[in-house]
C-alpha cells in the first residue's frame, strides 16, 4: 500500500456492499440517467452496492456531528444554532465528481425525508474570463490562481452562520461565468460542495475550504483511465456543440478527427494532468473517504480514514 494511504483502511467493493442490507434503490433508472454526466457510466447496482452504504456512513457522521454540537451547547451553557452538514467532493477533471454529487443529493433527499439538500460546484467561483485574460492566466483556468478562493471561503462562512447567499453560476457551454445569473443557497440541512479545488487553498494558508466540511470525499482512478474518459468526454462535447455556434466547443468542430484528438491530448497533458499531479492529487489524503474507480467507471475499492 502506498505511503499516502497509511492512514486509511482499504475496503473491497464486495465487503463494502455487505455493510448495507437494503435491497430497494430509492430512485429509478430514468432518474439515474437524468443525473449522470453524459460520459459517465453508473448503474442501479452501483447505487445499491456502493452509494447506499455510503449514505449510511453519512448518517453516522451527521448523528456524531449533532451529538457533539449538543454536548458543546451544554458545556458552553448556551444554545448553539443548528448548522448545515457540509460534504466536500473532490477529484480530477472527468473522474465523475458531478455524477457522484448529484446522486448523493437525490439519495440524501430520499433518505432524510424533510431535509433540504443543496449542491454547489466551485466552477462558479472561477474568476470571469475577462479577469483571467487581464491577468494573463486564461490558459490556466482550473489551476489554483484562477479561483476566487476568498469568495468561496466567505460563502461557506455565511452558510455556516445560517445566512442566505447568492453565488455566481458558471456555464461550460459559454466557458465563462454567466453575469446575469446566480444561485441562491438558503438554509440547507445538507450542502454538497463539488470541485477539483475543494481541499486546496493557496491564497490563505491559515484557513482551508475543507475546514468547513463535516465530511470529505475524493473520487479517484488511475491516471490512464481518467485520460481516456477525458478524451471521450471532449469528443462528446464537440458532437453536442456541432449545431450551436454560441457553444465554446463549436470552434473545434471544424477540425479533422486527428486534429481533435491532438487538441484533446494536448489539453489533457498540459492543463488537466499538470493540475492533477501538482495540485489535486496531493490533497487526496485530506479526504475522509476515497472512492476508487476501475477502468469500467465502477467503484472497486473504498478507502476510509482510520
List of long-range contacts for 200-209, beta carbons under 8 Å, 24+ apart: 200/144, 200/149, 200/279, 200/280, 200/283, 201/149, 201/153, 202/144, 202/145, 202/149, 203/144, 203/149, 203/150, 204/149, 204/150, 204/153, 207/153, 208/286, 209/88, 209/149, 209/152, 209/153, 209/156
DSSP-H helix ranges across 36-94: 44-46, 52-76
CB neighbours (10 Å) of residue 10? Answer: 13
| 239: its cell numbers | 458532437
Ligand-binding annotation for 94, yes or no, is yes
Ligand-binding annotation for 95, yes or no, is yes
SS3 label, residue 186: coil
Report d(CA 221, CA 228) in Å as an integer: 11
Ligand-binding annotation for 92, yes or no, is yes
The alpha-carbon radius of gyration of the chain (Å, integer) is 20
Ligand-binding annotation for 93, yes or no, is yes
Q: Within its chain, how far is the Cα of 167 from the centroid? A: 17
Q: Is 136 left (phi over 0), alpha (psi -120 to 50) or beta?
A: left
Binding residues: 91-98
Which residues sit in the known binding site for ATP?
91-98
Amino acid at each position: 500500500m502506498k505511503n499516502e494511504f497509511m492512514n486509511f483502511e482499504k475496503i473491497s467493493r464486495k465487503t463494502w456492499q455487505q455493510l448495507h442490507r437494503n435491497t430497494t434503490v430509492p430512485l429509478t433508472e430514468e432518474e439515474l440517467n437524468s443525473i449522470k454526466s453524459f460520459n459517465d457510466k453508473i448503474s442501479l447496482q452501483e447505487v445499491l452496492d456502493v452509494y447506499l452504504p455510503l449514505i449510511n456512513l453519512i448518517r453516522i457522521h451527521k448523528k456524531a456531528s449533532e451529538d457533539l454540537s449538543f454536548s458543546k451547547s451544554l458545556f458552553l451553557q448556551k444554545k448553539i444554532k443548528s448548522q448545515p452538514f457540509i460534504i466536500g467532493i473532490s477529484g480530477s477533471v472527468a473522474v465523475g465528481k458531478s455524477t457522484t454529487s448529484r446522486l448523493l443529493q437525490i439519495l440524501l433527499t430520499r433518505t432524510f425525508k424533510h431535509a433540504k439538500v443543496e449542491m454547489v460546484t466551485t466552477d462558479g467561483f472561477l474568476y470571469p474570463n475577462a479577469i483571467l485574460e487581464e491577468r494573463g492566466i486564461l490558459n490556466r483556468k482550473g489551476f489554483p490562481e484562477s479561483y476566487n478562493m476568498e469568495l468561496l471561503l466567505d460563502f461557506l462562512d455565511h452558510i455556516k452562520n445560517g445566512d442566505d447567499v447568492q453565488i455566481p453560476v458558471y456555464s461550460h457551454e459559454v466557458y465563462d461565468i454567466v453575469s446575469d445569473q446566480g444561485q441562491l443557497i438558503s438554509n440547507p440541512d445538507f450542502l454538497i460542495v463539488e470541485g477539483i479545488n475543494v481541499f486546496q487553498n493557496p491564497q490563505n494558508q491559515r484557513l482551508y475550504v475543507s475546514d468547513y466540511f463535516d465530511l470529505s470525499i475524493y473520487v479517484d482512478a488511475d491516471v490512464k483511465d481518467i485520460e481516456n474518459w477525458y478524451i471521450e468526454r471532449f469528443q462528446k462535447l464537440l458532437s453536442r456543440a456541432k449545431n450551436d455556434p454560441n457553444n465554446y466547443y463549436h470552434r473545434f468542430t471544424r477540425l479533422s478527427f486527428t486534429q481533435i484528438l491532438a487538441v484533446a491530448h494536448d489539453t489533457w497533458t498540459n492543463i488537466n494532468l499538470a493540475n492533477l499531479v501538482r495540485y489535486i492529487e496531493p490533497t487526496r489524503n485530506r479526504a475522509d473517504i476515497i472512492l476508487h474507480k476501475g477502468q469500467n467507471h465502477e467503484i472497486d475499492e473504498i478507502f476510509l480514514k482510520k
